[in-house]
Amino acid sequence: MPLRRDQSSNLTFAEPSRVARRLLWHLYSIGSRRIEQPDHHEPYEKPGAHLFWVQSGSGWVEYMDHRWPLDRGRKVWLLDMSRPRTYVPQPGGYLTISGVRFGGPGLEFWHESLNSSAQPEFLLEDPRQARLLYHHLWRLARRRPVGWEWQVHMRMNELLGMLLMSRGLLVSPEAELPPPVARVLNALAANPLKDWKARELAVIARVSYSGLRALFRKTGQGTIHQNIQRVRLDQARLLLADPRLSIKDVAAQLNFSSEFYFSHFFRKHTGMTPTEFRRGLQLKPAVTTPGSALIRSGTNAGNS
């Protein structure tokens, strides 16, 4: 697996192995770089996601039609590389960021669960632990001991776990779900292609519809409707990844009355049409050399 360094920005690039690309969290690049002028990136210019923090200086990142201030402290940012983004230092100043560009199976589900498109900023309880994991990852990428990609996968799991914890998305093991909520979640998982109705699920839960709504709110599981939509959206992505199925076939399997209504549903929840989603899947494997577009001036380079 070839590795390369960019001497101008202290970045190490890695080309993931086939096994790591399919099964594990894997690195595309890791390190830091100094930005002295606006640095814009188009969608799908590079694969994966960018998890980073500010090492020195300040500025902002323009992402999803919003400007997010970038400063040193306890905050980290997670950006989806399929979205346009621009890193901007303060006028007359500079911005040095450190982080990892990575990929892995189900990355889009992480973005959705973390709501990173609408809220890419995370406040960590202990940023020192995140920095320590980053240095472990950097050493692994530089030294490449036997089984290093598996160790990268484990360290990335810990980093992403911190993001989950910062959003309160991990339920305590002691907090068991009420039986009615568990019945609904099991029903959705057992038949994800079904066009479920909330009142139909209340019958399965063996409680009233209003009672089921209250239980979902109390346990922090979101609304009944949100859970139904999330399951359908997950299945839509999986089916669209199969090139043998037409969009009309996918709509039919998900029990939409027409391809039009399915496309409207998919765009409403993802910001892209099914065709655009498929085009992105086709483009991702084509980006095989993360450092190929490197410009030594500092723009369009590195992790971002």
pLDDT score at 53: 96
Looking at domain 179-271, its CATH class is mainly alpha
Task: Name the residue with tokens 């980093």.
Answer: 159
The domains of the chain are located at: 3-170, 179-271
Is residue 141's pLDDT more than 50? yes
Confidence of residue 9 (pLDDT cuts 50, 70, 90): low
The average pLDDT across 194-206 equals 91
- For every residue of 235-295, DSSP letters joined together read HHHHHHT-TTS-HHHHHHHTT-S-HHHHHHHHHHHHSS-HHHHHHHHHHGGG---TTTT--
The average pLDDT across 132-154 equals 92
pLDDT score at 175: 57
The average pLDDT across 101-105 equals 93
What pTM, to 2 d.p., does this model score? 0.66
Condensed to tens digits (0 to 9), the pLDDT of residues 37-57 reads 999 999 888 889 999 999 999
Confidence of residue 211 (pLDDT cuts 50, 70, 90): very high
Is residue 24's pLDDT more than 60? yes
Is residue 79's pLDDT more than 80? yes
Q: Which of 57-66, 180-189, 263-272 has the highest mean pLDDT?
A: 57-66
Confidence of residue 217 (pLDDT cuts 50, 70, 90): confident
Q: How far apart are CA 53 and CA 50, in angstroms?
A: 10
Condensed to tens digits (0 to 9), the pLDDT of residues 105-116 reads 889 889 988 999
Contact, 192 vs 227, CB < 8 A? no
CATH number attached to the domain at 3-170: 2.60.120.280
Contact, 64 vs 117, CB < 8 A? yes
pLDDT score at 110: 92
pLDDT score at 137: 94
**By CB neighbour count within 10 A (0-12 exposed, 13-18 middle, 19+ buried), where does 205 fall?**
buried
Task: Tell me the two tokens of residue 39.
Answer: 């640095």
Radius of gyration of the chain (CA): 21
pLDDT score at 298: 36
- Mean model confidence pLDDT for the chain: 85
Q: How far apart are CA 79 and CA 52, in angstroms?
A: 9
Q: Cα separations (Å) of 51 from 149, 183, 245?
A: 18, 36, 34
Condensed to tens digits (0 to 9), the pLDDT of residues 242-296 reads 888 899 999 999 989 899 999 999 998 888 899 988 887 765 543 333 333 333 3
pLDDT score at 303: 60
Contact, 258 vs 251, CB < 8 A? yes
Confidence of residue 11 (pLDDT cuts 50, 70, 90): confident
pLDDT score at 237: 87
Is residue 218's pLDDT more than 90? no
Confidence of residue 172 (pLDDT cuts 50, 70, 90): low
